[in-house]
Amino acid sequence: MQSPQAELLERAEQYCRQRNLTLAKGNAFGFGVHGSVFPCSRPTGLRTALKIHERLDPYLRERDVYLRLYDHNVERIDGHHVPQLIDFDDDLLAIEMTVVVRPFVLDFGGAYLDRPPDYDEAILKEWQRDKAEQFERHWPAARSILYALERFGIYVADVNPGNIAFVESESA
């Protein structure tokens, strides 16, 4: 039986073979709750990020968020770079996007389209306190980015300083 990480890498390799991309093995950008992100490069030299999801539902949510952002030509939100959708593969649960630098907004695997998550008032208040503590002085700016995404019908529940990053932030 193959490990989940090995299975994700195998799908990343298949995606790259099908599109004549080069996969930078052993140098994953990150591993998360929903999958792994691998660095790739296109024949043109463009470096891209390839996210391979473990499960269908988070993949579909994230793919649809990137399609919504693509449809609205969103490249930045409040000065933060947003990865641009390049391609996707529903069979491999793969999303290929541009690589962005700080400041950025990324990782929409925990986002919802056209409706906020169903939190009761107590959980919502606790969530707000937790996020204010995590982002510290950047919380008002992070909250502004979340409000901007909501104007596109994108509700991000899984937000942290790793996926809304500021230039002077310490976390990746």
Percent of the chain with pLDDT over 90: 81
For 68-96, how does the pLDDT look when each residue is reduced to its tens digit (9 = 90+)?
999 999 999 999 999 999 999 999 999 99
Percent of the chain with pLDDT over 70: 93
| Tokens standing for residue 6 | 């090995």
Do the beta carbons of residue 12 and residue 28 sit within 8 Å? no
Which domains, ranges and CATH numbers included, belong to the chain?
A: 4-165 (3.30.200.20)
Cis peptide before 116 (omega within 30 of 0): no
Banded model confidence at residue 31, pLDDT cuts 50, 70, 90:
low
| Tokens standing for residue 9 | 């890498």
State the CB neighbour count (10 A cutoff) for residue 141.
Answer: 16
Kindly report the pTM of this predicted structure: 0.91
State the CB neighbour count (10 A cutoff) for residue 161.
Answer: 18
Helices 139-150, 121-135: inter-axial angle, 10-degree rounding: 130
Residue with the two structure tokens 């090995």: 6
